[in-house]
Structure formats: C-alpha cells, structure tokens
C-alpha cells in the first residue's frame, strides 16, 4: 500500500490537540487524513483533509466514519469499541486494536491486566459502585488513606481523588471505581514505547513529570529524567515488558511511580500520543506523533534519541478566567532562546483547560528547568 501522495486514507478518531499534532506529520508526508470530533471547532479541523463532526461514543457515527478509511487510529480512549470491532471484522485496519483499547479503557480492567501479567502496580480493590466502599470501610477491608479512581471517563486527574476520611467520599459519583493504595512516590516518571505492525519496538528516554498540586495535572515534563542510569534502565524495562504484554500497535505511554524504596510501579497507560511526549517535537530525532503514524502504517520506526535536553510546560487556563482566550506575554517568551510555544487553537479558556504548551530545549537539563520556570511565570492564558 502506498501512503504518500496517494488515495490511501487514514482516519483519526478525536480532533483535539493530540490529533492536531499528529497532523503535522501527515501534512509533512502528504498522507490524506479524515478526522472525527464532536466539536465543530476542533483544533484538528484545519489541518486534516476531511473533517466530520460527530459523537465518538456513538456506534453508527464511528462505524460510518471508519468505513470511509483504510486505516483507523485514535487520539482519545473514549471511543465506541463495538464499532471498532465490527470495522476490524470488515477489513478496516484499526491500530491500536479494539482488543488493546478494551483492556485500557476501563481502569479496573487495566489494573487486573497488570496483576495477570505479573507487572508491578499499587495494590487496589475494585468496586461496582462508589457506595460499596462504605461497607468495605465498616468491615475494615479497606483503610485510609487511599486513592479513589473512576473506572471510566476520567482524564487529566478529574476522575481521581485522595480519600483520607469518610467525608472525602461525599460528592463522588456513584460509579464503577477502584480504590488504590496511596503511593508516597519520590517521582512520577513516564516512558513512551512505540511498536509498529511488524513488531519492531523503540522506547523514548525516561521523562520526569512534575504535577500541579491542586489540579492533579502535569505542569512540567523533564527529558531526560534526573535519575540514575540504573533507575532509568529499570523504568525502561518495566515499560518494555508492559508494551510486550499489551502487544499493541502504535504508541503506549507508560506512567510510572518511583517509590521511596526505588521500586517502579505502573500507574496507568495510554495507547496514543501523550502529554509526557510533547517535547519530542523539538528535542527528539523523531517526534512521538511521527512515530505513532509510522507505527500504525507499518513504516520503519524513527530514532528515539534526544537531540537536546528539554522541559515541556503545559499552558493551562488561569484560574478565574473563562471566555475567549488571550495569551498574555507570549512575545516575552519568544525572545528567549530555545523556547517554542504551541497554541492548540481552542477558542474558549477556562481554569486548568489545556490551551497549549511550551517546549524549552537546552544542552543542560537544569538550565532548561530554570528557563521553564521563567516561561511559566511570564505567560498567562486569560480571557478577554
């Protein structure tokens, strides 16, 4: 199959910022792409060849979209799996497969997968409804503190809560969930593993993620992580083992905890480009987005080596600002060497909404981190 300047059609479910950045590659390679997204103003809209508006969880919408393409991929996990299964049966190439996605879409199923495959993860209990946790507390089969996680539809920390008392359970949705041991980690790390149709595998360097204390959202990503070679190697091995167990095609971002005793535990995985890999656009020989496209088309994987060290800063909507977005002081950071802003193109800002990111590259990771802090302090996403 010819992909470049041909009749081949690649479909992408989801047209957010991850989709938009995937399209940098399809534009570069002149690969014809179709995008489906619920929003008429999706960031991907302008960069794809054909745009369709529709519900990603609706069977008919996903099925009818899938019938228009040769290969189908996604930039978001919350898509209709039954439609993917039918499309696969009817000959559409779906990567990552419905089988991979099915194991990941539900956090309880995902955690059980780790246990079944002897992969390290924090101890947990699964509950059909949040309400059932009360009786587990009464029977002392669960102890405070623990981390409550909605099994489905959580993202960017909004389906996660640290529970220290019964009070903290109040107001949580009564849905399928897991209660996980609170890990007192030293660091949060991530490794993006790429695997193409032929089974070739390449992992990116281990990154370190720094989180915003309130929003539970990544604030900085540092590449490479400031850890010893020994720990980096351990993290990479866990990520590669996880990737092999899922036997996925495309990217698998593996989020990890480094515990106080230098154990590596898997937090969760995402079978798509990930926030922990945005810096690869400027800092790596092959961006994660290009790598995903290469992988799902069965092309040779590119080098995952760093050209430079980097820090990625998420640009999120400022608190108390809602409405049409303004990027205050963006010119200031464009005066700094090695600093590149990315604006996703979402018209409306709201508190903590991911509106863009900034990549800082430098030969030295500590210097990059210092500049990243200046970037964070200077730019603000506010409303008009």
Q: Is residue 182 at the binding interface for ligand ADP, with CB under 6 A as the rule?
A: yes
Q: Report the site for ligand ADP in 265-284 (rule: CB under 6 A).
A: 267-268
Least distance in Å: CB of 265 to ligand ADP? 8
Which of 56, 72, 101, 122 forms a contact with ligand ADP (CB under 6 A)? 122
Least distance in Å: CB of 192 to ligand ADP? 15
Least distance in Å: CB of 183 to ligand ADP? 4
Q: Is residue 144 at the binding interface for ligand ADP, with CB under 6 A as the rule?
A: no
- What CA–CA distance (Å, rounded) separates 358 from 84? 34
Least distance in Å: CB of 121 to ligand ADP? 9
Which of 188, 208, 282, 290 forms a contact with ligand ADP (CB under 6 A)? 188
Q: Which one of 1-9, 156-164, 291-299, 308-316 is the stretch in contact with ligand ADP (CB under 6 A)?
A: 156-164
Q: Kindly report the three-state secondary structure assignment for every residue of the chain.
A: CCCCCCCCEEEEECCCHHHHHHHHHHHHCCCEEEEEECCCCCCCCCCCCEEEECCCCCHHHHHHHHCCCCEEEECCCCCCHHHHHHHHHCCCEECCCHHHHHHHHCHHHHHHHHHHCCCCECCEEEECCCCHHHHHHHCCCCCCCEEEEECCCCCCCCCEEEECCHHHHCCCCCCCEEEEECCCEEEEEEEEEEECCCCCEEECCCEEEEECCCCCCEEEEEECCCCCHHHHHHHHHHHHHHHHHHCCCEEEEEEEEEECCCCEEEEEEECCCCHHHCCHHHHECCCHHHHHHHHHCCCCCCCCCECCEEEEEEEEECCCCCEEEEEECHHHHHCCCCEEEEECCCCEECCCCEEEEEEEEECCHHHHHHHHHHHHHHCEEEEC
Which residue, 160 or 330, has its beta carbon nearer to ligand ADP?
160
Q: Is residue 159 at the binding interface for ligand ADP, with CB under 6 A as the rule?
A: yes
Least distance in Å: CB of 221 to ligand ADP? 12
Q: Report the site for ligand ADP in 222-261 (rule: CB under 6 A).
A: 255
Which residue, 267 or 314, has its beta carbon nearer to ligand ADP?
267
Least distance in Å: CB of 289 to ligand ADP? 20
Least distance in Å: CB of 164 to ligand ADP? 12
Which residue, 69 or 222, has its beta carbon nearer to ligand ADP?
222
Q: Which one of 73-81, 135-143, 155-163, 170-178 is the stretch in contact with ligand ADP (CB under 6 A)?
A: 155-163
Residue nearest to ligand ADP (CB): 183
Q: Is residue 211 at the binding interface for ligand ADP, with CB under 6 A as the rule?
A: yes
Which residue, 111 or 202, has its beta carbon nearer to ligand ADP?
111
Contacting residues toward ligand ADP, per CB under 6 A = 122, 147, 149, 154-157, 159-160, 180-183, 188, 211, 216, 255, 267-268
């Amino acid at each position: 199959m010819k992909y470049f300047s041909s009749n081949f059609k690649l479909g992408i479910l989801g047209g957010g910022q991850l989709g938009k950045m995937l399209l940098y590659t399809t534009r570069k390679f002149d690969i014809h792409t179709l995008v489906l997204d619920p929003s008429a103003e999706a960031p991907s809209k302008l960069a794809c060849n054909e745009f369709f508006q529709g519900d990603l969880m609706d069977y008919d919408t996903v099925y009818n979209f899938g019938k228009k393409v040769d290969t189908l991929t996604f930039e978001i996990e919350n898509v209709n799996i039954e439609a993917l299964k039918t499309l696969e049966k009817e000959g559409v190439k779906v990567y990552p497969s419905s089988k991979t996605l099915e194991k990941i879409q539900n956090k309880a199923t995902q955690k059980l997968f780790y246990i079944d495959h002897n992969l390290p993860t924090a101890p947990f209990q699964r509950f059909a409804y949040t309400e059932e946790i009360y009786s587990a507390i009464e029977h002392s089969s669960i102890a405070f503190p623990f981390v409550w996680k909605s099994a489905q539809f959580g993202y960017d920390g909004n389906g996660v809560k640290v529970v220290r008392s019964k009070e903290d359970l109040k107001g949580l949705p009564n849905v399928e969930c897991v209660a996980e041991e609170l890990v007192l980690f030293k660091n949060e790390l991530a490794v993006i593993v790429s695997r193409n149709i032929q089974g070739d595998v390449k992992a990116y360097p281990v990154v370190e993620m720094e989180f915003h204390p309130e929003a539970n959202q990544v604030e900085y990503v540092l590449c490479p992580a400031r850890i010893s070679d020994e720990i980096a190697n351990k993290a990479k091995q866990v990520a590669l083992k996880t990737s092999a167990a899922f036997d996925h095609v495309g990217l698998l971002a593996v989020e990890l905890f480094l515990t106080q005793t230098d154990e590596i535990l898997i937090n969760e995985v995402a079978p798509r480009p990930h926030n922990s890999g945005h810096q690869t656009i400027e800092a790596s020989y092959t961006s994660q987005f290009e790598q995903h496209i290469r992988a799902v088309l069965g092309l040779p994987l590119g080098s995952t080596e760093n050209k430079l060290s980097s820090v990625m800063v998420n640009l999120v909507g400022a608190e108390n600002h809602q409405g049409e977005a303004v990027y205050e002081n963006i010119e200031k950071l464009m005066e700094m060497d090695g600093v590149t802003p990315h604006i996703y193109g979402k018209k409306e800002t709201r508190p903590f909404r991911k509106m863009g990111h900034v990549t800082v590259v430098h030969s030295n990771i500590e210097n990059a981190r210092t500049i990243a802090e200046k970037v964070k302090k200077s730019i603000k996403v506010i409303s008009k």
